[in-house]
Amino acid sequence: MTDRLRILLIAEACNPTWTSVPLVGYNFARALASRSDLDITLVSQVRNRPALLADPIAAQVKLHFIDNEWLAAPLYSLSSLIRGGQALSWTIDTAMAWPSYMVFEEAVFRRFGAALQAGRFDLVHRVTPLTPTQGSPLAKFVQTPMLVGPLNGGLPWPREFPELRRQEREWLVPLRQAYTKLPYYRSTYRHLAGAIAGSKHTATEIPPFFQGQRFYLPENGVDPERFPIANSWPEPDGKFRFISVGRQVPYKGFDLIVEAMARSPALRQCRLTLYGDGPHKPALEALVQQHGLHDCVQLAGWVNQKQLGQELARSQVFVFPSLREFGGGVVLEALASGLPSIIVDYGGPAELVTPDCGILLPMEPREALIGKLRAAMEALSADPARCRQLGANACQRVREEFVWSAKAARIVEFYRQVLAKPPAKS
């Protein structure tokens, strides 16, 4: 090995202008590219070419693009048709993407197989896809140690809300375990040198026959250059403001917040702003009208990250009772803004928020959860001193654990652990 670790970084989804998984892939790539101890070759899908070539990362890494659009584009269109859009039925989307990703990674092997076999890379790291269901042909084909992750997904639908899976059109869930029978699934985990779980649940989905090294690191982070970390809790200027952000789909639980507002005379004296859009928005608008909440609840639609930062900076509490959230990147943005967060103690947000920086509500059936949510919102709106302390703790937690530079440092630790003890390839 040279002094700089030579990393083949695979991020099929990697785009600074998009959200969700492509933005996570980009943020990891950018953070790793900024380190002086790494020599990064970044491989991504051709749809990301314009955005990556226009980004400063183009001067920091060796960029390569794989064109599998001949298959990826029609499968994406077919998936959208079956799902009735792009907001629901994510299990179908993941399943439909499997063939095109197999083509993508086999093309990576054709382009880099000789270099890998010649020892020109110290390690392969596949950042995206994030799903633990996606096998890797490359893991079997090459001798170079390979690491995947952070992986996230597979969180069970909560038993307390049996209607949720139907509302989200997740008809394919009963067949989800079929992925363990797909080509390359078993060989992937038999040959990987390491796997990073992005959540505690996903760690349980890594099969027991996996003999590589296991790591844990939530996939979301904060870039202080793009989203400055606050120094203190934003004091109210007028009415106490609650804020929530996300796709307006049933599992996000926005209707629970509206119901909590409707049932509380104290909360009706506050303001609630919901940012985002989606198929559940008409139902939320009807709920606001039904309860006569126009004076205190606003559905504000989508805003860009700069505008969102400004809105968070003038709010007092972030409310996010999502019922099945894998990651929860917006929770970190709220914490970075100095906001105490109210979340459900289930899934990704519960691994980001601690009792020192927010309130974690136990997962309970609808009526009980609305009652707990109402009580938590009332408690914080009536206690500025507690909000100040929670907000200060939130900022400190983000600085120490969730800025991208800190996450990249953890990844490099994983690299060195894997390289110090690579598994024998069979």
Q: What confidence tens digit (pLDDT) does each residue in 29-86 have?
A: 999 999 999 999 999 999 999 999 999 999 999 999 999 999 888 877 876 676 666 5
Q: How far is CA 413 from CA 214, 406, 407, 408, 420, in A?
A: 13, 11, 10, 9, 11
Can you tell me the mean pLDDT for 263-274? Answer: 96
What is the structure's pLDDT at 2?
A: 53
What is the structure's pLDDT at 55?
A: 97
pLDDT band at 97 (very low <50, low <70, confident <90, very high): confident
Backbone angles phi, psi at 74, to 5 degrees: -65, -35
Is a pLDDT exceeding 80 seen at residue 175? Answer: no
**Domains by residue range for the chain, with CATH:** 5-221+403-420 (3.40.50.2000), 241-401 (3.40.50.2000)
- Which tens digit of pLDDT belongs to each residue from 200-216? 999 998 999 999 999 99
Is a pLDDT exceeding 60 seen at residue 102? Answer: yes
The residue with greater pLDDT, 163 or 165, is: 163
What is the structure's pLDDT at 290?
A: 95
Can you tell me the mean pLDDT for 174-193? Answer: 81
d(CA 106, CA 37): 29
Backbone angles phi, psi at 114, to 5 degrees: -65, -40
Is a pLDDT exceeding 80 seen at residue 96? Answer: no
User: How much is the CA Rg of the chain, to the nearest whole Å?
Assistant: 22
Q: In what order do the strands lie in the sheet with 194-197?
A: 62-66, 38-45, 5-11, 123-128, 146-151, 194-197, 213-216
Query: Angle CA(370)–CA(372)–CA(374) in degrees, nearest 5?
Result: 65
H or E stretch at 334: helix 329-336
Backbone angles phi, psi at 127, to 5 degrees: -85, -50
What is the structure's pLDDT at 327?
A: 82
Nearest partner of 20 among 244, 327, 398, 335, judged by Cα: 327
Residue 22: asked if its preceding bond is cis (omega within 30°), the reply is no
Can you tell me the mean pLDDT for 325-346? Answer: 93
Share of the chain above pLDDT 70, in %: 91
